[in-house]
Amino acid sequence: MEKAKKSTKRLAAAKELNRVVGEYYLECAAAKDAGTPVGWMPPMNGAIEIFYAMDLQPVFPENWSPVCAAFGLTPKNFEVSENMGYSRDLCGYLRNIIGYVNGPMTDPDTPLGGLPAPDVLLSPGGGCVPVMKIFHALERRFPEAKVFKADLPQVAVEEIRPHHVEYAVGEMQRLIDFLSEVTGRTLDPDRLKEVVALSDQACALWDEIMTFRRFVPAPFSAAEIGIMFVMVTRQGTRTAVDFLTTVRDEVRARAAAGIGVIPDEKLRLFWDNIPLWYNMGLFNYFERANAVVVAETYSAAWSLRLDPEKPLESLAMKSLQSYPLVSCVSIEKRKELVLKACKEYAIDGVVFHRNKSCVPISLGQMDIRRALETELGIPSVIFDADHMDARNFSTAQFQTRVDAFLEMLHQRKGR
């Protein structure tokens, strides 16, 4: 098994992030102790803002998986789920969370205190099959939790029509009614507007931060992508806005001063698919060849805006786009997004992570690769790995392919 490697970070905000992450999990535990209802839900959907507006505690089992990978907890969790009969071919998030809730969850020494048991489960009616199955398994594991079965149309972003939004608004209202009934809490419409405004500010800051990566040299690399933690867990809070403002200010100052990730940036790379959460140090590997990963598909997921004056419509739209890299986008659209990003960020080469654990995001990579070559003349390399399971990654294979690829890119650029 590959040894977990942490990435070397250059942003001072990275230290601030550790505090934000720690405080979030402390808040989750404290909420449970104080009797605040805790709801487990998939990430990137409009339920988050509704939870914060109703003073309920949102928890994200999918997001807990990268934390487990960073703390080296995944081998134990995988052992538990595999002993229960879950195949190694299944999504690593699924195997990790099922292993965790059926194993180490009750261990008092779990880093960050672990996850508090759910009082409510928001079971998605969309996204990918593994994410739906995670929640079906959680329903069996926590039979006392009240379950809300979401029912949203699976429609590609470019195909969303007014009747889809109207239906999704009805679903948001049904969720609010459900939460009022099972928790006894009501939703103040003005508070919801405030929360949606904060969420929109976070999205605007996110977009602004990403634009500074177009500078040459790039002020930060994919090694810092953990900042997305606030976009997953803290949307609709002042915490997210304050943290992202700090990041934006630092990144803007670095870009203005021409301070790059490395002093002599020669190659700019794009990363496709989820990072290897147990080996974020991989992003620093490219730097020995003066190459920097300056953009990635994953970070495009939060590029959306919300209108505080139309909070339910905004949250409905957000929920319809909640799996922007998976079921809510066609391969054609993904291709368009990757090609556009490669032009905007002046990319020299693309690194495709063919993810054994995530078929939905790996699907279409060959089409995108062909389009990059024929339409933009941008070469790419593919390596096999897994975003959660270190057993499916070979450092030797990665280094051999990447070294040859970077050498070829240098030769091309030299010419």
Residues within the interface to ligand SF4 (CB under 6 A):
91, 93, 128, 130-131, 326, 358, 360-361
Q: Count how many residues are written for the chain.
A: 415
Q: Which residues contact 240 (CB under 8 A, 6 or more apart)?
A: 198, 199, 202, 230, 231, 234
Q: Please say which residue, 134 or 198, places its beta carbon nearer to ligand SF4.
A: 134
The three-point CA angle 314-138-185 to 5° equals 50
Cα-only R_g, the chain: 21
Q: Report in angstroms how near the CB of residue 55 gets to ligand SF4 at its nearest.
A: 28
Name the minimum Å distance from CB 204 to ligand SF4: 26
Whether the ω angle into residue 379 lies within 30 degrees of 0, i.e. cis, is: no
Q: How far is the CB of 373 from ligand SF4 (least distance, A)?
A: 26
**Nearest approach, Cβ of 293 to ligand SF4 (angstroms)?**
19
* Smaller CB separation from ligand SF4, 320 or 378: 320
Q: 124: Cβ–Cβ under 8 A, 6 or more apart, which residues?
A: 41, 42, 45, 131, 132, 135, 150, 152, 322
In the block, which residue shows the tokens 């953990």?
Answer: 226
In the complex, the smallest distance separating the C-beta of residue 93 from ligand SF4, rounded to whole angstroms, is 5
Contacts of 359 (CB under 8 A, 6+ apart): none
How far apart (Å, rounded) are the C-alpha atoms in residues 139 and 148? 10
Query: How many angstroms separate the CA atoms of 236 and 166, rounded?
Result: 22
How far apart CA 164 and CA 158 sit, in angstroms, is 12
Between 43 and 260, name the residue whose CB sits nearer to ligand SF4.
Answer: 43
CA distance 225 to 149: 31
Q: Which of 160, 195, 154, 202 is nearest to 176 (CA)?
A: 195
Q: Cα separation of 370 and 393, whole Å? A: 24
Q: How far is the CB of 183 from ligand SF4 (least distance, A)?
A: 27
Taking residue 19's Cβ as centre, other Cβ atoms within 10 Å add up to 10
**Choice between 101 and 361, CB closer to ligand SF4:** 361
| Residue nearer to ligand SF4 on the CB measure, 65 or 246 | 65
Q: How far is the CB of 151 from ligand SF4 (least distance, A)?
A: 19
Q: Which is nearer to ligand SF4, 260 or 324 (CB)?
A: 324
Q: How far is the CB of 386 from ligand SF4 (least distance, A)?
A: 10
Looking at the Cβ atoms of 104 and 360, the one nearer to ligand SF4 is 360
285 touches 309 (CB < 8 A) = no
Q: Please, where are the H alpha helices in 43-188?
A: 47-53, 61-70, 74-83, 92-101, 129-141, 162-183
DSSP H or E stretch at residue 354:
strand 349-355
CB of 153 to ligand SF4, least distance (A): 18
Q: List the structure tokens of 352.
A: 């495709």
**Please, which residue, 94 or 247, has the CB nearer to ligand SF4?**
94
Query: Considering beta carbons, is residue 91 or 390 the nearer one to ligand SF4?
Result: 91
Are 54 and 183 contacting, i.e. CB atoms less than 8 angstroms apart? yes
Measured from the CB atom, the residue of 17 and 326 that comes closer to ligand SF4 is 326
CB of 360 to ligand SF4, least distance (A): 5
Q: How far is the CB of 340 from ligand SF4 (least distance, A)?
A: 22
Q: Nearest-CA neighbor of 247 among 66, 43, 15, 7?
A: 15
Q: Name which of 315 and 361 has its Cβ closer to ligand SF4.
A: 361
